[in-house]
């Protein structure tokens, strides 16, 4: 399990090594054809690489085009519920936040699915929940997947960490992928920001990725919440170690990464411990692509439109569009409290046109439900 590996990697030592990276380290990592190690990744996200941003962009674009061509995979999230038993101090869905809680009924789910289909030809759907294992647990998710599968070929979930057999169960209900953000790999800070509830268990969360791999989940998405820990460079490096670990062990799985940036005073009123600039986000994105040519890099509507459009040509391969981050936001309850504020508020059609103008082809469908049949019947 990765928690054991993580103990061998010192946080402070990693921070020191990133800070000590030199010009020569960066230049070595930037040689075309060089196979990057996590050490090289550290060089590329370090301040020493800042003068090389343009070269990094060129190399990132080259690798991205070689592997993905000039396409962007489109997806849309649907929040099934904002009900949550956790106390993440930075989150608007925090258990003690006085707000109306919604858990979509099966009928409401179908209304949302249909509303999304009217919005755009989305075929990749991400189902999101808070952590409420009693009212929105595995049977609830299975129902949501069953109802969605006739309308969407590719279904991912972003929910609380589950047991391996629960991931396997959901696979049989048509689930193709799982996204889970570790939030931070800094154990003490993690405990600080997740004081109560199931989420307070660091090990359970960080080892969820192993359990996904063991359950044969096709696609695993990772991320750290940037701004939660003061030192995002070290946090992202830990994620790179984790990615490297996972892809060696669960080699049939595809991986994606996301770099969600916290903003000052989101719904939870939490003030981020660090603000990552656009340049820094671009640097990290290029570094990730140079480190791993095959990983999907996803930008959500958290990011502003112009940044998304440009980054779609330089390393990003997956994007959401037209997103609502409140449960039932597409049809049933369009006015409820959202989890985070969407920055890119364009319609899917506007995003599509913008991407085409940048020379990128938005891809809506990239999976075939019949491939899932052996899992659906087993």
Partner 1 sequence: MTDTLTIGGRSFASRLFLGTGKFRSNEEMAAAIAASGTEMVTVAMKRVDADDRDDDLLAHVRRPDIQLLPNTSGVRDADEAVFAATLAREAFGTPFVKLEIHPDPRHLLPDSVETLRATERLAADGFIVLPYCQADPTLCKRLEEAGAAAVMPLGAPIGTNMGLRTRDFLEIIIADAAVPVIIDAGIGAPSHAAAAMEMGASACLVNTAIAVAGNPVAMARAFADAVRCGREAYLAGLAQTGSVMQAEASSPLTAFLD
Closer residue to partner 1, CB minimum distance, 70 or 143: 70
Closer residue to partner 1, CB minimum distance, 27 or 143:
27
* Residue closer to partner 1, measured from CB, 3 or 97: 3
Of the pair 62, 143, the CB lying nearest partner 1 is at 62
Using rule CB under 8 A, residue 87 touches partner 1: no
- Pairwise CA distance, residues 255 & 251, whole Å: 10
Least CB distance from residue 361 to partner 1, whole Å? 19
Query: Can you give 308-363 as a three-state secondary structure string?
Result: HHHHCCCCCCEEECCCCCCCCCCCCCCCCCCCCCCCCCCCHHHHHHHHHHCCCEEE
Distances in Å between the alpha carbon of 309 and those of 1, 41, 75, 320? 38, 24, 15, 12
The reply to whether 100 sits near partner 1 by the rule CB under 8 A is: no
Using the contact rule CB under 8 A, the part of the chain among 26-34, 169-177, 224-232, 325-333 near partner 1 is 26-34
Residues between 60 and 79 that touch partner 1 (CB under 8 A): 61-62
Decide: is 52 part of the binding site for partner 1 (CB under 8 A): yes
Contact between residue 219 and residue 177 where contact means Cβ atoms under 8 Å apart: yes
Q: Which residues of 43-78 are buried (b: 16+ CB within 10 A; e: fewer)?
A: bbbbebbeebeeebbebbbebbeeebeebbbbbbbb
Min separation Cβ 169 and partner 1, Å: 23
Judged by CB under 8 A, which of 134, 251, 357, 359 binds partner 1? 251
Among 247, 254, 346, 375, binds partner 1 (CB under 8 A): 247
Question: Residue with structure tokens 């054809």?
Answer: 33
- Kindly tell me which residue out of 45, 59, 155, 226 binds partner 1, with binding defined by CB under 8 A: 59
Q: Which stretch binds partner 1 (CB under 8 A): 171-179, 213-221, 265-273, 306-314?
A: 306-314
* Smallest separation (angstroms) from partner 1 to the CB of 281: 9
The bridge status of strand 318-320 relative to strand 71-79 is: parallel
- Report residue 270: phi and psi, to 5°: -80, 135
326's CB contacts (< 8 A; 6+ apart) are 79, 82, 333, 334, 335, 336, 337, 338, 339
Q: Residue numbers of the site for partner 1 (CB under 8 A)?
A: 25, 27-28, 30-35, 39, 52-55, 57-59, 61-62, 247-249, 251, 278-279, 282, 306-307, 310, 313-314
């Amino acid at each position: 399990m990765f928690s054991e590996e993580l103990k061998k990697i010192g946080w402070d030592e990693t921070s020191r090594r990133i800070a000590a990276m030199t010009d020569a380290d960066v230049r070595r990592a930037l040689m075309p054809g060089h196979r990057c190690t996590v050490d090289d990744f550290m060089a590329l996200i370090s301040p020493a690489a800042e003068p090389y941003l343009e070269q990094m962009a060129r190399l990132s674009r080259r690798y991205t085009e070689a592997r993905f061509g000039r396409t962007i995979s489109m997806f849309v999230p649907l929040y099934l519920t904002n009900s949550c038993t956790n106390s993440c101090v930075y989150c608007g869905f925090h258990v003690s936040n006085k707000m109306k809680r919604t858990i979509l009924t099966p009928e409401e789910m179908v209304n949302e699915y249909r509303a999304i289909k009217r919005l755009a030809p989305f075929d990749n759907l991400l189902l999101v929940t808070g952590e409420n294992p009693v009212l929105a647990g595995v049977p609830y998710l299975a129902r949501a997947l069953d109802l969605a599968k006739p309308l969407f070929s590719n279904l991912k979930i972003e929910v609380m960490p589950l047991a391996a057999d629960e991931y396997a169960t959901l696979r049989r209900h048509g689930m193709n992928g799982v996204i889970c953000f570790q939030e931070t790999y800094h154990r003490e800070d993690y405990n600080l920001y997740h004081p109560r509830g199931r989420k307070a268990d660091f090990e359970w969360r960080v080892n969820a990725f192993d359990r996904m791999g063991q359950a044969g989940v096709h696609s695993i998405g990772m991320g750290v919440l940037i701004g939660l820990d003061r030192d995002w460079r070290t946090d992202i490096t830990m994620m790179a170690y984790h990615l490297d670990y996972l892809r060696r062990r669960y080699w049939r799985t595809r991986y994606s990464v996301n770099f969600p940036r916290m903003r000052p005073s989101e719904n939870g009123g939490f003030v981020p411990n660090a603000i990552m600039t656009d340049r820094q986000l671009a640097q990290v994105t290029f570094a990730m692509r140079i480190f791993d040519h095959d990983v999907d890099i996803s930008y959500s509507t958290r990011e502003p439109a112009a940044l998304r459009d440009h980054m779609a040509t330089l390393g990003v391969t997956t994007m959401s569009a037209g997103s609502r981050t409140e449960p039932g936001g597409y049809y049933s309850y369009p006015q409820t409290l959202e989890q985070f504020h969407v920055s890119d508020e364009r319609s899917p059609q506007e995003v599509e046109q913008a991407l085409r103008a940048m020379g990128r082809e938005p891809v809506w469908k990239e999976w075939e439900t019949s491939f899932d049949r052996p899992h659906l019947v087993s």
